[in-house]
Structure 1
Amino acid sequence: MIPYGRQDITQADVDAVVAVLQSDFLTQGPVVPRFERMVADHVGASHAVAMNSATSALHLACLALGLGPGDRLWTSPVTFVASANCALYCGATVDFVDIDPDTYNLSVPALAEKLARAEAEGCLPRIVVPVHLCGQSCDMAAIGALAEQYGFRVIEDASHAIGGKYRDTYVGDCRYSDITIFSFHPVKIVTTAEGGMALTNDPALAERMALLRSHGITRDPARMDGDSEGDWYYQQIELGFNYRMTELQAALGVSQMARLDPYVARRHAIAERYDALLAHLPVATPIRTADAYSAFHLYVIRISGSDATPARATAFARLRAAGVGVNVHYIPVHTQPFYRALGFAAGDYPQAERYYAEAISLPMYPTLSEQQQDMVVAALRQALTT
């Protein structure tokens, strides 16, 4: 089975993790700060806060921006559920903005229209979470302009997009957002096994996320209520969580970061080869925008069922049977049973639902060989033959 994605672990990665195992610190040591600084410097952000998952990072980003009961968060329906769940963790409500039919990212015209209605009705969002689906940045300049006009805060869910660029600078520099979130899950661009990170240019936001990451506990006398009682002393000054990243995870991340740009370049080479190999098949291949350099976490095609072409579900089953581990990213969040119980229904976001009915993620990872890619395309060609 050729998987849709997989990690690439080298001997250098193994050696980095073993070095931590043989050191004095398995957690709360020097490697996590080193990893944070490495990522922040690479993408051009001032601050980075590493956590045990991107989901945790989304949660703390919302809390740091003051999201709470009575507030609203808007995001794309075509994303993993964590992009929406983070609002519910804070007691806020969730709504969605339909996607652009070409890029599959949150539609800026749909967002502008929905904001105008919300302003008239007195129900503007506190936070908007654009999701850089497949690794291609949303139109962040346009979203940033709307944020200034309507007064909402912006969290970029860039879980797919580390190493990608927008207008010639790296995703994560937070030029048009308050906070950017990266994921380091094994199928992502670089991995720490599990892990995530929040990037920001605001020192107060970084400080609050770092505090909440570790139980809301501080050892800084300047932040305490009253005087410190000694070097052992600490105080819990907020209700926080244990969202820390371990030293082992960070060591793997530091080692992987050395290959970030080559990994993304390799993904582009694979994507360009797919484009050429699929040109004569009845599928839609990814559209690149002029402003964005995708990290190509995913390579998604769309299959429209017709008299000559089987529906997506049939093609998917045939590909799996042929040993090609395709996947679908994602089932629209608003159609999940939990969200249907909140009042959402099929038909609410037609572009997202149309995309879902047609989308298949083909294998995409740096070590995918040309022979394997040829096998994927041959299996797809056969799957599309009725």
Structure 2
Amino acid sequence: MIPYGKQDISQADIDAVVEVLQSDFLTQGPKVPDFEAKVANHVGAKHALAVNSATSALHLACLALGLEKGDWLWTTPITFVASANCGLYCGAKVDFVDIDPQTYNLCPEKLAEKLERASQENRLPKVLVAVHLCGQPCEMESIHKLARQYGVRIIEDASHAIGGKYQGEFIGNGRYSDITIFSFHPVKIITTAEGGMAVTNSDELASRMNLLRSHGITRDSNLMTHEPDGPWYYQQIELGFNYRMTELQAALGDSQMDRLDTFVARRHELAKRYDHLLAGLPVTTPWQHPESYSGLHLYVIRLHLGTINKSHREVFESLREQGIGVNLHYIPVHTQPYYEAMGFTAGDFPEAMAYYSEAISLPMFQGMTDEQQDEVVRVLKSVLNIKEEK
């Protein structure tokens, strides 16, 4: 089986983790701040906070921005459920903005229309989570302009996008958002096994996320409500969580960062090969914004079902049966039973549903060989009844 995604672990990565295992610290040592500094420096952010998952980072970001009961969080329906669930964790209500049919990201035009209606109805969101699907950044300049107009805070969910660029600058620099989130799950561009990170240019937001990721406990006398009893003293001043990243994870991530640019460059090579190899087939290949440099976490095609004598499911299952580990990113969040119980229906966001009815994620990972990619295309052509040229 050729998987849709796979980690790339080098001997240097292994050595970095073994070094930690042989050290005095397995958690709360020097490797986490080293990793944070490397990511912050790379993307051009002032602060970086490593945590145990991107979901935890999203939750902390929402809390730091003051999201609470009675507030609204908006995001895209084409994302992993965590992009919406982070609002529910805070007691907020969640709504969605339909996608752009070309980029598959949250559509700025639909956002503008929805914000205008929400302003009239006094139900504007406090937080907007803009998801860079597949690694391609949203139209952040337009989204940021709208957010400023209506007083909305922005989280960039860049779980797919570390190493990518928008307007020539690395995603995560914070020019058009309050906080950016990265994921380091094994199928993502770099990995810490499980793990995530929040980056921001705000001292205040960074301080609050730092406090909340470790039980709401501080040893900073400036934050304490009364004088310390002694050098052992700490205070819990908020209800926080254990969202810390281990030294092992940070060591792996720090080592992986050394190859980030190489990883993304290889993904671009593979994407260009796919574009060439799939030309003329009854599929739509991913459009890339000319002013962006995608992280290319995913390579999603859309089937032209009107000209294919098979259903979406039949194509998907046939590929899997023949050893091509395709996937589908994502099932629209508003169609999940938990969200249907809130009153959402499948027809609420038609562009998202149209995408879902046609999308298939082809294998895309930096360790993928040209031969493996050729096999993916060969099998896809066979499934679509496309004869190979001799």
The TM-score bracket by the shorter chain reads over 0.9
Q: Which runs of 5+ in 1 are unaligned?
A: none
Q: Is the 8 A contact 2:327 2:362 kept in 1?
A: yes
Shift of 1:215: 0.1
Matched, 1:173 2:182: no
Query: Partners of 1:174 and 1:11 in 2: how far apart?
Result: 33
Residue equivalent to 1:187: 187
The C-alpha deviation readout for 1:213-271, integer Å capped at 9, x for no partner, is 00000001111111111110000000000000000000000000000000000000000
SS at 2:199 equivalent: strand
Matched, 1:373 2:373: yes
Task: State the AA in 2 paired with 1:356.
Answer: Y
Task: State the AA in 1 paired with 2:180.
Answer: T
1:223-262 → structure 2 map (5 Å cutoff): 223-262=223-262
Residue equivalent to 2:311: 311
Q: Percent identity?
A: 67
Task: State the AA in 2 paired with 1:261.
Answer: D
Q: Is the 8 A contact 2:79 2:330 kept in 1?
A: yes
Residue equivalent to 1:52: 52
SS at 1:319 equivalent: helix
The C-alpha deviation readout for 1:310-333, integer Å capped at 9, x for no partner, is 222111011001100000000000
Residue equivalent to 1:155: 155
1:1-386 → structure 2 map (5 Å cutoff): 1-385=1-385
Query: Partners of 2:46 and 2:257 in 1: how far apart?
Result: 18
Query: Partners of 2:304 and 2:319 in 1: how far apart?
Result: 16
SS at 1:74 equivalent: strand
SS at 2:283 equivalent: coil
Query: Partners of 1:309 and 1:328 in 2: how far apart?
Result: 20
Q: Is the 8 A contact 1:115 1:150 kept in 2?
A: yes
Q: Is the 8 A contact 2:282 2:308 kept in 1?
A: no
Shift of 1:125: 0.4
Query: Partners of 1:202 and 1:308 in 2: how far apart?
Result: 51
Task: State the AA in 2 paired with 1:296.
Answer: L
Question: Are the structure 2 counterparts of residues 321 and 239 from structure 1 closer, same or farther at C-alpha, using a change threshold of 3 Å?
Answer: same
Task: State the AA in 2 paired with 1:138.
Answer: C
Query: Partners of 1:267 and 1:308 in 2: how far apart?
Result: 28
Query: Partners of 1:44 and 1:305 in 2: how far apart?
Result: 43
Task: State the AA in 2 paired with 1:250.
Answer: A
Segments of 4+ moved more than 4 angstroms:
none
- TM (normalized to structure 2)? 0.98
Task: State the AA in 1 paired with 2:118.
Answer: A
Query: Partners of 2:244 and 2:360 in 1: how far apart?
Result: 34
SS at 2:8 equivalent: coil
Q: Is the 8 A contact 1:26 1:247 kept in 2?
A: yes
SS at 2:18 equivalent: helix
Shift of 1:291: 2.1
Task: State the AA in 1 paired with 2:20.
Answer: V
Question: Are the structure 2 counterparts of residues 308 and 181 from structure 1 closer, same or farther at C-alpha, using a change threshold of 3 Å?
Answer: closer
Query: Partners of 2:31 and 2:307 in 1: how far apart?
Result: 57
Query: Partners of 2:119 and 2:166 in 1: how far apart?
Result: 29
Q: Is the 8 A contact 2:98 2:352 kept in 1?
A: yes
Query: Partners of 2:117 and 2:73 in 1: how far apart?
Result: 15
- TM (normalized to structure 1)? 0.99
Q: Is the 8 A contact 2:282 2:307 kept in 1?
A: no
Task: State the AA in 2 paired with 1:241.
Answer: F
The alignment of Structure 1 onto Structure 2 pairs a total of residues equal to 386
Shift of 1:307: 4.8
Q: Which runs of 5+ in 2 are unaligned?
A: none
